[in-house]
Amino acid sequence: MRQPVYLDYSATTPVDPRVLEAMLPWFCERFGNPANISHSYGREALQAVQKARQELAKLLNAKPHEIVFTSGATESNNLAFKGLYTLLPEKNQVLTVATEHKAVLCSAHALEAQGFEVEVLPVNRQGFVDPGLLAEKISPRTALVSVMMVNNEIGNLQPIAEIGALCRAHDVLFHCDAVQGGGKLPIDVEALQIDLLSLSAHKMYGPKGIGCLYLRHRDPLIPLKACIEGGGQEGGLRAGTLNIPGIVGFGKAAELALAELEAERLRLQTLRNQLYQGILNALPEVYLSTPLESSSPAILHLCFPGLSKGRLIVALTDLAISAGSACSSASGKASYVLEALGLESDLSNNALRFSLGRFTTATEIESAIHSVIQTVAKLKAKPSKLPF
């Protein structure tokens, strides 16, 4: 059976064969615990962890000791938020944005039980938060501002440098969920003035189950409290025996991403524009939700007026695409991201996300264009009797 063309890289990416090759020895041959360096098995595991930290630090222009390994970006986001309650009562306000990932929004609201005030800022129709509004909302009580780098549904790139400068000027911690930007866009935590940043390996051709939190080393130290207690690993912030194969894979994925970043960015941008123009030429009524001039080159979000996303997904059997973010697309509910943009229901209920990646080819893009055009024509010619 022929596999559909995979255009859902924002949900997850396949492990790059070069990453798998780097990981394999750490399952059976090199199985030491880096917490025990009394023998060579533990010492070589520790060296592998240190090398991975270095590769991730290079990707972010950070220092290796500022990389805290976690199980993924969801845990990183939770650690960034829930570790903050030690700041009470001096600072007890958190500011974030309506289109953030659920892992950020849920973590933020969890702080309300600890006495925090959480304010969720609106976005405009292109998904951008207004830095001017953010500046108005920052007060002496503000502990943290969290704004994602690239939206996981429409792909817009927030003005991170401007927000970072604003937070630094007010001595407010700035957290950035950079999952959709990691390995796809250049990230310099120093230039962007980011204090905490979340990444996940499986979004950048590494394995699932491993991620990291960049935690700026400054004086005084950022006062995070561990969310997982135990043996004191990861600077006391994340107890538990380290996932060495996953960490090695994450480090290799970061190394490859940095080496190939600019060429891959331009290639994806060309393919995405090819996909958009090919569909638009045949279907001029299609509504573009992705602001192409300020977005990830890997994401294209389109709305098809008059055709529900349910019918489209069912009919496009030869394409692996999404109706929204991976964490919510199966719910069947309207996207809270699109609702935040203020899109009319005829657009928000008829939206598809195409996300491209390292193994996407021009031939696949042409196939996708043809499939979308033919499928839309068939669906319009045969009105649905189904309730979606």
Same domain, 278 and 306: yes
Look at residue 7 and tell me whether its pLDDT is greater than 90: yes
Same domain, 234 and 273: no
Average pLDDT over residues 26-36: 95
Same domain, 251 and 283: no
Last residue of a domain, one of 215, 234, 255: 255
Instruction: Extract the tokens encoding 181.
Output: 């930007």
Last residue of a domain, one of 202, 235, 255: 255
Give the HSE-up count for residue 118: Cα atoms under 13 Å, Cβ half-sphere: 21
- Model pLDDT for residues 228-274, shown as the tens digit of each residue: 888 889 988 999 999 999 999 999 999 999 999 999 999 999 999 99
Q: How many CB atoms lie within 10 A of CB 110?
A: 15
Residue listed under structure tokens 């007026």: 305
Same domain, 23 and 158: yes
- pLDDT of res. 332: 55
Give the mean pLDDT of the chain: 94
Q: Is 386 inside a domain boundary?
A: no
Same domain, 104 and 235: yes
User: Minimal CA–CA distance to 5: which of 302, 308, 375, 363?
Assistant: 363
Same domain, 211 and 327: no
- pLDDT of res. 386: 53
Q: Is 388 inside a domain boundary?
A: no
Task: State the pTM of this model.
Answer: 0.95
- pLDDT of res. 223: 81
**CA–CA gap between residue 249 and residue 25 (Å, rounded):** 11
Same domain, 65 and 91: yes
**Which ranges of 224-303 does DSSP label H, i.e. alpha helix?**
244-282
CATH number at residue 83: 3.40.640.10
Same domain, 369 and 282: yes
Q: Is the peptide bond before 122 cis (omega within 30 degrees of 0)?
A: no
Radius of gyration of the chain (CA): 22
- What does each C-alpha distance from 199 to 17, 84, 215 come to in angstroms? 20, 19, 12
Look at residue 185 and tell me whether its pLDDT is greater than 80: yes
pLDDT bin (cut points 50, 70, 90) of residue 218 is: confident
- pLDDT of res. 225: 86
CATH number at residue 313: 3.90.1150.10
- Model pLDDT for residues 268-325, shown as the tens digit of each residue: 999 999 999 999 999 999 999 999 999 999 999 999 999 989 999 999 999 999 986 5
User: Minimal CA–CA distance to 148: which of 191, 115, 102, 183?
Assistant: 102
- pLDDT of res. 384: 63
Average pLDDT over residues 159-164: 98
Average pLDDT over residues 100-109: 96
**CA–CA gap between residue 37 and residue 39 (Å, rounded):** 5
Which residues are designated catalytic? 327
- Number of domains observed in the structure of the chain: 2
pLDDT bin (cut points 50, 70, 90) of residue 327 is: low
- pLDDT of res. 346: 87
Asked if 296 contacts 271 with a C-beta cutoff of 8 angstroms, the reply is no
Residue-number span of the structural domain to which 211 is assigned? 17-255
